[in-house]
Structures are given as structure tokens and as C-alpha cells.
Amino acid sequence: MLVFAPICIALTIFNLFYNNLMINLRFMAKMRCVTFGLCLFDCINYAFCYCFLQKPCRDKCFTPWTVGKWAIKAAIMGYTVFLVKEKRELWEDSFEPGEMVGDSGTSRLDTYLIVYLLQHPIFIIARLPIFILYSILTCCCDKGVEFNEDNEFKDRVISFDFIPYELGRLNHFANHPVGRNELEYNRALSFVRA
């Protein structure tokens, strides 16, 4: 259990940093301030090996990478749940009435891991009822801008193509000021706007 618990923690942290919305929000921060984005976006991406783990680690409903990744996670975390339950039973069997419960307390790691493993299927299944509920509750509301049928929504922060679209639009930040020059540029820009 001492080996598998840290592995499970590492897998959950990688899942957090490869969450599509989190990646896109960090990139959006880089769009606002490239210098800040170098720390928030680029350094974190290098630390989590984004350059070659992007395809297997990002979740897109039913791609082979996603299914394979979640199958491996289910095996590792399922075995960890088994180990935690076994350890809990050992604690309960060795407990004597009137004995102080010290370090051999309860652990809810198994419950947390089960909930974590269920997040992807719940997210996939929950889309339909949420869409139906949204449609019912907003049927009489003006929903704002109308989009044509060929719009791919690449400019939306929830899109999987947001970063390539914005990099192309921003010309990969070519000739963009960085560091002190960016601060002076933004200061001058805000002075012009005022």
C-alpha cells in the first residue's frame, strides 16, 4: 500500500494538470502576459512532460488513449482500494475494546479512489441530462449570438483546439515583448487607452 498510494496520488495530479480546461486557462493567462505565462504555462508543461504526454494524458471521451489510460488507472487504483480495505480489516481485527485508537485509525482512501475512478463515466453520462435541463430551463430565454453550422468553436476556452488556434492567430508570440519590455508596453498601452 505504501507504494501504490503515491502512484495513485501522482496519477491524480497528472490528471489535474492535463485537464483540458486547466491547460487552456493557463494558456489564456500566457496570452494576457507572456512573461507570467512562461512560468505558469511553459514551466509547468515542461515539468509534466507535456511535449510527449499530451496525447495519452488528455481525456477525449472515447479515444483509444483515454480508454487505455483509464483502464490502467482502474487496475492500479482498484488494487490500491483492495489493499486499503485489507489494511482496514486488519486494523478492525486487531482492535481490542478499551484500547486507544492511535495511528491505526480509519482511512477513506478507498472511497476517494472509487469516486475518482467514477468521475470520467459520470462526466460522460451527465452530459445528456445537463443539456436537457439547460434546454428546458432556457427555452424562453434569448441565448445571445447565433452561430452558423460550420463554426468549429476553436476560439472557445473549452475547445481541444484552443491552443493551436490561438497560437496561429498570435503567430506563436513572435516579436512579442517579454519581461520588463512587456511591462513597459502594457503600461504604455493602458496609458493610451485612458
Q: Could you identify the residue written with the cell 486499503?
A: 84
Reported pTM: 0.70
Query: In whole angstroms, how far apart are CA 85 and each of 34, 75, 99, 133?
Result: 48, 15, 21, 38
pLDDT band at 77, cuts 50/70/90?
Answer: very high
118 vs 125: CA distance, rounded Å = 11
pLDDT band at 57, cuts 50/70/90?
Answer: confident
147 vs 136: CA distance, rounded Å = 20
84 vs 50: CA distance, rounded Å = 32
44 closest CA partner among 25, 61, 66: 25
Q: Which residue has the higher pLDDT, 133 or 108?
A: 133
Identify the top-confidence range among 30-39, 139-148, 172-181: 30-39
* Tens of pLDDT, residues 145-194: 777 888 888 888 888 899 899 888 888 777 777 777 776 766 666 666 65
Other Cβ atoms less than 10 A from the Cβ of 83: the count is 17
- SS3 of residue 139 by DSSP: coil
What interhelical angle do 4-17 and 20-32 show, nearest 10?
50
What's the pLDDT at 75? Answer: 93
